Homo-oligomer: A and B are copies of this chain.
């Protein structure tokens, strides 16, 4: 049988991170790869109790087909939650998605024809790059500095490429951990307005802030319908439930709903009902305080290890939240080769090149600190420092 696959599948390989995951099943591997929450942080007991309650009360509704837009009680619950992020939305402005990644996919599905240009931060979330490939769009990298996307380069790339979309993660960016300052957020929205660009504001890490002051979402400056805002409960409650949400102008949201009807009809009602009840019981904020305290200790530990044990030639970011530290090695060091050596010693991370639309960044790496205990961070980082020193001799 000679399969005639679609053009969109050419050159789309599996997500590098998810392939590395499979190598990490061994319990002895200390993994700074992935972007997983700490498994021990999941509110299992609460979720067991809540599941019993919601199914006892509304089992025949939850187990039945639901609305594509989402479980109505959850959409209502999200309205005040979004207000707390300075985002004004009604329930009708919200689409529940099967993880916020589906929000990226559905926005792209609504807008992109083959050859369309999409601006992305360089580096950016690698699954977003994958999604763009499946729409046969051109991802155009925009330079970033220590505070995030570079406005001069953004303006230049807009003029040069007339992009339809700009995808960015303004807060505790994946993979760098950087946060875009207030003034730049406003300018990005202004540039979008002036150039008829839709901004996908992917914001899954915002509530994982360990120090400093929260900044308003770019969506809060969106007066003319230029911003699709994506939130996720994967990092806040549980990724295994697959619940996120999109807040978008009505005209865009209608297209996204049609796109979602055609792909999975609706998100698991049970997952939605669990997230809804968890939030309605006001359990999310205390849970966040707890996990932020844990993650903060882990971030500090990893930071301290980088300063104390690693060669002084490397530089790294100092995020105030999120899940990642980004490390830049000397130009001649290939992080991919480093990974082979560190995996042989049971320590894993993600080589940074996968996050670059243009395949650059061979000398960069992403370190996740949320999913390892302080002890394992100490052990793993010492091994990694040793591997690195040997590589840099």
Chain A contact residues, CB within 8 Å of chain B: 1-9, 12-15, 18, 21-22, 34, 36-37, 39-40, 42, 44, 47-48, 51-52, 55-56, 59-68, 98-99, 101-102, 105, 109-113, 116, 127, 130-131, 134, 164, 193, 196, 198, 224-226, 234, 238-242, 249, 251-252, 254-255, 257-259, 261-271, 274
Contacts and interface: CB of A to CB of B under 8 A. Distances in A.
A90 to B, nearest CB: 17
Given A51-B55, A240-B270, A134 B196 contact: no
Contacts of A131: 262-263
B64 A47 contact: no
Residue of A64, A164, A254, A266 ringed by the most chain B CB atoms within 10 A = A64
Residue of A116, A239, A262 ringed by the most chain B CB atoms within 10 A = A262
Contacts of A65: 21, 34, 36, 234, 239-240
A232 B99 CA distance: 21
B261 A127 contact: yes
A134 B109 contact: yes
Given A105-B263, A261-B127, A268-B242, A63 B51 contact: no
A66 to B, nearest CB: 6
A261 B112 CA distance: 19
Contacts of A255: 5, 9
B239 A64 contact: yes
Contacts of A263: 98, 101-102, 105, 131, 263
A60 B44 contact: yes
Given A40-B60, A64-B36, A164 B4 contact: yes
18 contacts: A1-B224, A3-B198, A14-B257, A18-B67, A39-B61, A39-B63, A47-B63, A48-B55, A48-B59, A98-B264, A98-B268, A101-B262, A101-B264, A102-B264, A127-B261, A240-B268, A242-B268, A263-B263
B63 A238 contact: yes
Number of copies: 2
A125 to B, nearest CB: 12
B270 A134 contact: no
Ranked nearest first, the 3 interchain pairs of A and B with the lowest CB-CB distance are A44-B59, A240-B269, A63-B238
Contacts of A98: 98, 263-264, 268
Contact of A5 (B36, B110, B241): B110
Contact of A113 (B7, B60, B113): B7
A39 B64 contact: yes
Contacts of A134: 109, 258-259, 262
Contact of A266 (B13, B111, B242, B270): B242
A6 B109 contact: yes
Contacts of A240: 61-66, 268-270
A268 B265 contact: no
Given A6-B113, A240-B270, 5 more contacts: A6-B110, A9-B259, A98-B264, A109-B134, A241-B269
Given A134-B262, A238-B64, A111 B59 contact: no
Contacts of A55: 44, 47-48, 51
Contacts of A112: 6
A130 to B, nearest CB: 5
